[in-house]
Amino acid sequence: MSSASPILGIDLGTTNSLVGVVDSGFPILLADETGARMTPSAVHYAQDGSILVGAPALRKRSLEPQRTVTSVKRLIGRRSGEGDWTPPYDLRALGTTPVEVSAEILRRLKAIAERALEQPVSRAVITVPAYFNDAQRSATKQAGELAGLTVERIVSEPTAAALAYGLDKLDERKKIAVYDLGGGTFDISVLEMRDGVFQVLSTAGDTQLGGDDIDRALAAHLAPPGSDPALFLEAAEAAKKRLSSQESTRVDLPFYDGKNSLSRELTRAELEKLIRPLLERTREHCQRALHDAGVMLDEIDEVILVGGSTRIPLVRGLVARVFGREPNTSQNPDEAVAQGAVIQAGILSGSLQNVLLLDVTPLSLGIETFGGLMNVIIPRNSTLPCKAGEMFTNAVANQRDMLIRVLQGERELAKDNWELGQIVVPFPPGPKGSARVGVQFSIDVNGILQVLARDTATGKDIVLEIQNTAVDVDDERVEQMIAESVEHAFDDMNERLWTEARLKAEELLPAVETALAQFGDAVSEAERVTIQAAAAEVRRLLNAETHDATALKAANRALDEATQELAVRLVERAMEESLARRGLV
């Protein structure tokens, strides 16, 4: 955590509110002392003047509905009498206002953040529905200020959701639809990317349609004739949630009214039949929003889901049918708006500059080395930006330059990977292993790969820049490359081992021949026979039809061992000769 005061991102919701912050470059949501990240947007005003916020307030609702304020977001910024919702409480009787109630919730979120971060915070970004007018936006801002927060920005919820889904990377003029079905409200927005920011082209929805309606319908369905459906609300919501991931579930309510019990199996199909008409109502709002935005269905580039109720499979199916494409479900729908608020806060505080572009390399990057092998320099899935390098030398004497082939892929052999480019590094000719060429790969946040080759003797740099190829690879081709690398893993590995053994053998054989020819008198006849047999075995394997890497490695080792003594004697003789030449013996 940076020492500068962080900016909070706050989703001030109708039913639930969330708070988060960017920590070490990552957006995180903060939990209260019970471990909960969602705070019910509920405030209880007790008779004695004390105030409870969140889950404790919600627990008081059924006992004292007139003293427990929920869904205050439906009232904020409206003159009394305005709007289409009548709350079960009277704010004036409680001596409070919507702004003050919202301030209580925000004060609680601020306290959760300060406890989690162990430092005071005083700045925030707060989200509001896209359809909020000026009065509603400034009332929300006022609530923040009353809670001791400087409101750095008010952000539209669909825009925040789009940020959370990472859609801020979309190209200019791309259009997205945000389908938001929460507990009490349904919102549909069409957004367009313009000059790097999202513009809300249209919004539509129903402020009286959400998960609560589903719970009520299901409770009424479960309630036996003559019983009070309200008794089944909680069980209905729980069963509904389970049916989002299961095909059927058991509903057990022993002695729900003191004497009767309910125990029955409930299927997803049964729930779907019940709620289909409710959900169908969202369809025309979607069409309306498209119409108002002047956007055709096939111009929508992405559909994202927000709100807990979009976990219902029937909702996902409906969205897919309405928009003619599968919705993007990569984010947690209840947290997307809050995540987006946090990202926006991070951008404002400067702590997210790089992370927004955070990306990884989809495939390994490397260069071809001697023998046609792939030498990985930056492995796949490395986080950008990144930098890595290696030192190379000339494999043969008097080489005048080195060709560096830049490769991308997962295969062991260079020829099976994709070539991104080449650089030729010239260097002064010299014996084998005398040149020193450093090769460094660096990929910036934009995915641009720069390959820098430096001859350390001359200090001369050669730079090759490869635009975007480091990350900009077609997903399908990436998958195919990885699948192939797995499929060929065994053969590839054998080929790599073979190549390494072959290079070693090709180095060993001429050296042994030269030594025998020059210093043959230094070995016994028996030793000579052993060495020649070992060399013959290496040669045989080298020329064999099948590449047996293990056998060649073993033969190399045997030849190495057979020439051990010869090598020692050669060194001794060289020493003697040198000393003699200098007249020391």
Residues annotated as catalytic are: 11, 73, 157, 180
Find the shortest distance in angstroms from Cβ 38 to ligand AMP: 7
CB 14 within 8 A of CB 101: no
- Closer Cβ to ligand AMP, 13 or 77, answer by number: 13
CB 215 within 8 A of CB 236: yes
Question: Which residues from 239-258 bind ligand AMP, rule CB under 6 A?
Answer: 240-241, 244
How many angstroms separate the CA atoms of 441 and 448, rounded? 10
Nearest to 510 by CA among 367, 397, 345, 372: 397
Phi, psi (degrees; rounded to nearest 5) at 517: -65, -40
Find the shortest distance in angstroms from Cβ 231 to ligand AMP: 17
- Closer Cβ to ligand AMP, 16 or 349, answer by number: 16
When binding is defined by CB under 6 A, the residue of 100, 168, 192, 237 that contacts ligand AMP is: 237
CB 240 within 8 A of CB 252: no
CB-based closest residue to ligand AMP: 211
- Closer Cβ to ligand AMP, 279 or 365, answer by number: 279
DSSP state letters, 400-465: -EEEEEEEESS-SBGGGSEEEEEEEEE----STT---EEEEEEE-TT--EEEEEEETTTTEEEEEE
CB 203 within 8 A of CB 130: yes
When binding is defined by CB under 6 A, the residue of 98, 182, 346, 409 that contacts ligand AMP is: 182
Find the shortest distance in angstroms from Cβ 322 to ligand AMP: 19
Contact stretch for ligand AMP (CB under 6 A) within 12-20, 107-115, 145-153, 385-393:
12-20
Token representation of residue 87: 């709350």
Find the shortest distance in angstroms from Cβ 311 to ligand AMP: 4
How many angstroms separate the CA atoms of 343 and 325, rounded? 27
Question: Which residues from 396-435 bind ligand AMP, rule CB under 6 A?
Answer: none
- Closer Cβ to ligand AMP, 89 or 179, answer by number: 179
How many angstroms separate the CA atoms of 231 and 220, rounded? 10
Question: Which residues from 271-310 bind ligand AMP, rule CB under 6 A?
Answer: 307-309
CB 340 within 8 A of CB 174: no
Find the shortest distance in angstroms from Cβ 89 to ligand AMP: 20
Contact stretch for ligand AMP (CB under 6 A) within 111-119, 238-246, 430-438, 446-454:
238-246
How many angstroms separate the CA atoms of 334 and 432, rounded? 63
Contact stretch for ligand AMP (CB under 6 A) within 20-28, 235-243, 285-293, 380-388:
235-243
Find the shortest distance in angstroms from Cβ 244 to ligand AMP: 3
Token representation of residue 344: 């926006």
Contact stretch for ligand AMP (CB under 6 A) within 8-16, 71-79, 383-391, 407-415:
8-16
- Closer Cβ to ligand AMP, 77 or 129, answer by number: 129
- Closer Cβ to ligand AMP, 212 or 410, answer by number: 212
Find the shortest distance in angstroms from Cβ 464 to ligand AMP: 49
- Closer Cβ to ligand AMP, 212 or 302, answer by number: 212
Secondary element (H or E) of residue 376: strand 373-378
Helices (H), 204-350: 211-222, 233-242, 268-293, 313-323, 336-349
Question: Which residues from 143-162 bind ligand AMP, rule CB under 6 A?
Answer: none
Cβ burial, residue 72 (10 Å; 0-12/13-18/19+): buried
- Closer Cβ to ligand AMP, 315 or 322, answer by number: 315
Token representation of residue 330: 């990569």
Find the shortest distance in angstroms from Cβ 109 to ligand AMP: 15
Find the shortest distance in angstroms from Cβ 237 to ligand AMP: 5
Query: Interface mask (CB under 6 A) for ligand AMP, residues 305-334, using x and -?
Result: --xxx-xx---------------------x
Helices (H), 294-372: 313-323, 336-349
Find the shortest distance in angstroms from Cβ 330 to ligand AMP: 16
Query: Interface mask (CB under 6 A) for ligand AMP, residues 186-215, using x and -?
Result: ------------------------xxx---
- Count of residues interacting with ligand AMP (CB under 6 A): 18
- Closer Cβ to ligand AMP, 16 or 339, answer by number: 16
At residue 23, the 3 state secondary structure works out as strand
- Closer Cβ to ligand AMP, 158 or 409, answer by number: 158
Amino acid at site 442: S
CB 419 within 8 A of CB 406: yes
Contact stretch for ligand AMP (CB under 6 A) within 108-116, 234-242, 342-350, 445-453:
234-242
CA-based angle 201:202:206, to the nearest 5? 160
Nearest to 351 by CA among 342, 360, 339: 342
CB 273 within 8 A of CB 255: no
When binding is defined by CB under 6 A, the residue of 7, 9, 15, 427 that contacts ligand AMP is: 15
Q: If binding is defined by CB under 6 A, does position 504 make contact with ligand AMP?
A: no
CB 84 within 8 A of CB 208: yes
Contact stretch for ligand AMP (CB under 6 A) within 9-17, 75-83, 359-367, 460-468:
9-17
Question: Which residues from 328-387 bind ligand AMP, rule CB under 6 A?
Answer: 334
Cβ atoms within 10 Å, residue 398: 11
List residues near ligand AMP by CB under 6 A.
13, 15-16, 182-183, 210-212, 237, 240-241, 244, 307-309, 311-312, 334
